[in-house]
Structures are given as structure tokens and as C-alpha cells.
Structure 1
Amino acid sequence: MTGVVSWYGPLIDLSAAASHVGGFVQLLASVRRVLPHQEQNATTGRTYHKTIIEVGDDTRSSFSVSLWSSKNSSTIIAGDVLLLQNIRIVEFRNGLEGRASQISAVQVLLNSKDLMSPEGIGELITSCKVGDSTRSKLRKVAEWTLHTKCALRESYHELQVISKNWKAKEKESTYFLLISELLSQSKTCNVNVYACIGKIVLVTSPTSHFKGHLSVIDKHSLKEHHDIVRDFITAGCKLCGSPLHQTSLHGESTFAIDCPNNPKYLHVLGQIYKPFMIYVCDQSGQVPLLVRNKAAEILFSNIIADDVSECYNSYQCMLLETYESGNSSTSGMIDDTGNKGMAKRRRIEQKPNFHLIWLIMIRCLLNQRNNSPFCFQISVNPEKNVEDGRFELVSLTMPIP
């Protein structure tokens, strides 16, 4: 925060939020999760963005606050301790939440990396330029955050010990991070995380680009995506995962001249999975992972986009030919279209229906929270923002049924 913001309400504990419905308050709390959220104004057609954060303090472990997306809110990660100024408490869906307004402000008092260990916390709190009452609350929240992180880490390692459905090679001594620890990584590296998949975000779908909002797929909205193959699959390079037709910020069609994954710098064209995001979560938080073509193939149990597209197109052609054959028979026309359609159907039925298998796989992934977590290998690029692919999926290990 660059300037001084006047307070239009008291600094309160989260447990006291019910006593301030309709009014402005100041909140000092630790971030548990960050949930990027986009909405569209149906009247004007303009898109406005909000970031929903789940925070907690020493009096209440979970409370949601919605912020207008800005440079400050986009840098907030799980584990940060925030001073949320001039937040209105409102009733929402039979509960309470905090909402930012034009007079609101957000200040990061302690970064998540500052709270990795208790050493030096007292000095950081003392040097914070806040009032005595705010500093007292900051100390309580910092101690609560440290205690919570330790408890999560212990229960997390216990979970790893009692899990029985991992392959033998995964039981080798490998260090796994919590998502809250992953978010604080500041160096380029590959890390391992145990987590579950919460939702899929199609960041390059036609819905996303032309209508101004992300296309989000979870287990509740999967049925609404009738043309899901087009959302996921397009022509592009099988090696680097670059779509053949992608649009720049200025509306121009762009395609990389050289392939970074080929020593000869040549693209290998075919059907690929478009880059998309998966939101993965554990007990400590949630993070979006960028998924490119090769990682998507691993995610979908080695089902390649070519096979899905071929089965989908064959099925559509079969339906069209069956429909045309029916019309021909109705009008009295006699030809061998029906026989050809039957023969083609028999040929298709002899091959695995990769399209159907792929759809079932997506449904299983989105219902995976009820099962054991996956082991994700993640590439960290600290030069990118979290929403732009700072964390990219490299591979994952599937649990054994």
C-alpha cells in the first residue's frame, strides 16, 4: 500500500464479524486459500474480476473476503498475513463474508516465507509500522499461523505414512512440499506435492476469449459443457504444446516460429490439448497449475488428443450418415449409404472409444477428492505470476485402485 488509508470502522476479531453486519471493519488475518474468480455484468456486458480469499485468525479459522482484482490482490498467496482495511461485512448464502469497496485497501504485513519458522518473527513484528493494538493482534495471528502450519505438516506426513494405494517406487525417500510451502518458492526448480484436483479452467477456450469470462469445469458443471472436445483440443505442435491458432492481446493470430523442444526447431503438427489450468489443493491451500499437451496426456492416462479427436469426429460422421440414410429411406431413395454406415460403425466399434474413455477420465479426475491424492511434479518459474503459469505440471503418479 503506497498511501495512508483512513479507517471507517474498528479492528475486530473474525469471530466478532456477526456484530458488524452492514458496517465497515478492519481485519488482520492470515490467508488460507486464494480463489481467483471472474464475473460478468449481464447488463453492460463488461467483465469485472474479483479475488476471493479465505482467511483465518486466532478466533476463527475460516472467513471469506472478496477483493477487486488489482496488482496488490494478484500477489497475495496462502500464508501471507494481511491488514484488510475498510471491509464491509455482509450476509451471503446463509453466512457472512467480507467485501471490498472503493475505499478498501490491502496491506501485506508478513509474507508467507517470513512465517516458515518462528525465528525472527518477533523482530519483524516489532519493526512493523502499525499501532500498538494492531501489533498485538499481529502477534496473535502470527503465532496462530505458525502453530497451524506445524499441525498441518504433522498431519500431512501422517497421511503419507498411512496411504496404502501408492506404487512401490513412490515410497522412496522424496521430499514433498505443502501447497503453502510451494507458493513461497522463489527459485526455479522442480518440486513434488501431494494434492487433489478441484477444478479445471479452460484459459484458451472460445468461451474465455470472446465472451470475457473463464470457462470453469468442476464435477457440478461438467454436464453443461456440451462441446468439450473443442474446448480442450486443437491443431498445434505435439512437442511444445503451442496451438496453431492462438490470439495475442491485440487480437492478432500468433504461432511460435521455432519449437523449443525440437533440436531441429521444427514443429510436429497434429491434434493437441490446448494449455489449460487445474486447481489442486491440500490441507494448506490451493494453487493453479498450467498444463500443456505432454503433461495433459499423462493427466488423461496417456490418451493422446489425436485419438480423442479421431473417435469424436468418427462418431459425429456416423451420426450424420445415419441421419442422412434415414431421410433417404423415408423419401423412397434406394442406395447403399445405409450399408456403408453400418460397415463404418462396425469398424469403429472394434477400436476402443477413446473419446468416451477420455470423458470418463475427466469425470474421475474431478471426483478425485474422495480418493487418495495424486503425486504432482511441478516446475516453478518465479518470473511468472501464479495466474500466468508460475507453476506448471510436469508429471503425476496415479493412485493404484
Structure 2
Amino acid sequence: MMASAFGWFGPLIDLSKASSHIGDFVQLLVFVHRSFPVQCKSSKREITRTDIEVGDDTTPYFLVSLWQKHMGSMVAAGDLVLLQNFKIAKYGDAVEARTVQWSSLISLVHPHHSLLSKAVEELVTGCRVGATTKDKLRRVIKWVQQSRSTICNIKLQSNQTQQIEHLPRNWTVLEEERPRDCFSLIEVSQLTTSCKAIVCASIGEIVPLHTARTLGDTKKEKVFISRRVYRTEDSKLMDDLICTGCQLCGSPLDSKFERSAVPLICWKSSTRRHSICSIYRPFMLYLWDESDYMPVLVKNRTAEILFGNMKAGRVYSAYKEEIHNQNLGPRNECKDNDASERPVINPRPSGEGLPSSNTLEVDKGLQSEEKHLPDKFNFYRVWLILLKMLLKQGKNSPLKFEIIVDPSLDIESGKFEMVSATMPCFGT
């Protein structure tokens, strides 16, 4: 309970008359349907207010904004509250009440099951309020009790115990369907309904989706990554696996050929805007087991899982840096040779005015250690090693794949699309 230290600045009104008091201070006695926090941004910081949906015997639903943080924690759904010194405001066509510095809130009936388990007069007698407020309280309590099936979702049995009454919904709750456990790839390929499937299979090949660069390379075997990953002279490998695109939906946006097929909006973004950065280019991951082989579509997010949670941006940045250092290699070597030929002068002299033998040994040890320590972690090299290991055909244990199956799509559009890949745990 929070009493007002300022007194009443306006009349106690029905919610139906709120539109006649725009800009005025009023008192409201209402039933709380629900409350929810709302984040707002001011010029300097973020503010969280609490909006409560209330009603009375004249208007079933009305919005009230609580800007005081402590006041929002005092309200619970199902309470009967007295709102003191609230200001009526209008925004467009909507009328609402909001707090000011001297607003206060008093909880009259709490918890909400008291509304149904006690008589009206018993509830009114226990509230220390004036005669006008008690009269309004009676009317609101009667309204709540008469409309309890639609307001409280609570009903009383003959023994006065309460039960939750679930009203029929006018929407469908989408429950996540458990993935189907399939014993083989051929079982997955024969599914005729959209679902998720889990299957153990081995990785056979990676083939990037058709781009302007790879349309004529099939005969030359340039589309098969396993044939190219060991070629040091293959400078286009990174460009075929990493591109510029949307990190959310995985759509590539780095060429006219691909951009024409990419939707203008991103359905995985709340703002419907593409989030542009370096991503893994969509590719087909060919899986195999003893029964069959299957091409599975892999997009950016799932490619990150497959490649040890390494993001494409880090891999590509490390690759470009390595290429840059290779181009500057001869110059750097000359500089290093010049530096190594110069004598190392230690400012701390020994007793004879020359560097001591102990100091020279320490300096040599530090120099040798620095030569063996890398400047920073090379994501490109680690990614390349992992890619080679994944494509060791016939030498790897099978992985456990979760796959989305959509029979209405073709193969390259995502009839089978990878969701995750993990190491299977077989019972003994």
C-alpha cells in the first residue's frame, strides 16, 4: 500500500468519463487485468515503465502508464487498486492515464481470489476509504464477480474452492515438434511431410551452390571442395566458400547473379532488414551412409556450427592478412636480417662496464621464444585444417545431423536443410 502525501487533486471518476478530463488530475478505482514492462528511450538513457490494463463497471479495458519503478512492482493482475492523482492524457485517438510526481497507488483487494471467495460487503468493510470510494468499490466488485468467466478466468464450485478456467483461444499455439529419429538417409529421403529428422551419417563432399563463377567448372572438378582444399595455388577457394551477405537468413549479396534471387526483406529479422557482413556462402553438404547419399543445404548459421563456431568474418580477415604478409615477405625478411646483425646493447652494465654474460643469455632466450610465438590466433589456418579433416572421405566417424525436411521444395532451395551437427553418443 502506498498512501498519498499530497491529498486528492481531482474527483473520483468512472473510466467512461475519462475523455472529458483530458489534462486533469483524477482518482480511479479499477480492476487490474494485466501488467507488462515497456522499454523507452530518452535522449540520455533507457527507461522502463510499467503499463497496466485496467477496467471498471463502466469501461472493461483502459490503459494506465506507471512511470515510477517502485509503483510498477506493487501491481499484480487481479488486484483492485485506487489510483490517486493520475493525469488523463490523449495520444492520437487513444485516451490513457499516467503517473506524475505526486501520484500514488493503494491496493484495496489482494490477492485476487478474495474477490470470489468473499461477499461484497465483507470486502468493502475491510477497506478504510470514504463513502464515495466504498460505493464505487461495491460496483466494481459486483462487476468483477458477475463477469468473472471473462475477466478472471476463475469460477467457484459449491464448496467455494477456486479453479482455473481455461477459456477457448482464438489462436493456435505452435508447439515445437520433436524431431523424428531416423535409422538411415533413405528413411529421411522418403518422408512426405514437413518435419525435423535426426540421422547419423558421414560427410562426403562440399559443393557450393551455383554462382556465376562455378557454372562452367563441373567438368574441371572445380565445384568439389575436397579436390581443391589441398591445392595451395587455388586462390579462389575462399571466394567460393565465403562472401558478403546476410548473417541472419544466409543470403549472399556479393554478385549481380545472386542478388537478383535474394528477397528484398529478411524474414528472420524483426526489422525485416538484411544484416550485411561476411558469411559462409550456401553450399550443398553431401552426406552418405550404407543405404544412400543425400545433398543437404547448409547456410551461414549452420555452417558456423559445422566449422567449429568460427565466423566467416574472422576466417576471411585472417586469410586476407596472411596474403598481405606473404606479399610483403621479402621486405620483412631484409629488415629482420638487418636487425639481427645489429649488436644488442643492454643499458645495465656489469662490473667491467660491458654487458654481462647472464644478460646476453637471457636476451638470446627471449629472442628465440618470440620467434616461435605467433603474433595472434590464425583463424584461417585452423579453419583450413578443420575443413581438410571433415573431407577425409571414409576416414571419419559419422556425425549426428538434425535436418529440416520440406518436400514442397527442390534440393537446392532447401528440401533438406541442416540445423545442427553433433558428435553422437552411442550406448555400450
Shorter-chain TM-score bucket reads: 0.3 to 0.5
TM-score for the superposition, normalised by structure 1: 0.47
RCO comparison, higher one (Cα < 8 Å, 6+) = 1
Higher share of residues assigned helix: 1
Larger Rg: 2
